[in-house]
Amino acid sequence: MKFGEDGRLYAINPEAGFFGVAPFTSMETNPNAMLSCRANSIFTNTGLTPDGDIWWEGIGTEIPEGTITWTNDVYDKTNGKPAAHPNARFTAPASQCPVIDKDWENPKRRAYFSIFIRRTPSGNGPIGLSGV
């Protein structure tokens, strides 16, 4: 947060990306998430296809033969175990989101008019900050 030339307090979102649960995320259920994680992304606990791609249940394609599961086993459709962990994740740069506001990183876009500091009723909990 910084004061601008106009004396108002400005801030940007310090996060650089999005994350989400991978299973059942697809072009049909969340195309913007799929387009956002098309490159420069991190995937955890997903299946790994023989050609080095990722795969999870509900991605919208059939699982390729020879896919390695999140437990490092070759996927076996007869045992009922998923290829990806049910809580498998992806994280992608926000700049890759096709519908992100063009000014999302503009520090002059969000001025704060007031900041509220609040405590839990007992007074011994964490301090929370809110901006308006």
The one-digit pLDDT tens for each residue of the chain (132 residues) are: 778 888 877 776 667 888 999 999 999 999 999 999 999 999 999 999 999 999 999 999 999 999 999 999 999 999 999 999 999 999 999 999 999 988 777 766 666 655 555 666 666 655 555 554
DSSP string, 70-111: TTSSB--TTS---SS-TT-EEEEEGGG-TT--TTTT-TTS-E
pLDDT tens for 65-90 read: 999 999 999 999 999 999 999 999 99
pLDDT of residue 8: 79
pTM: 0.72
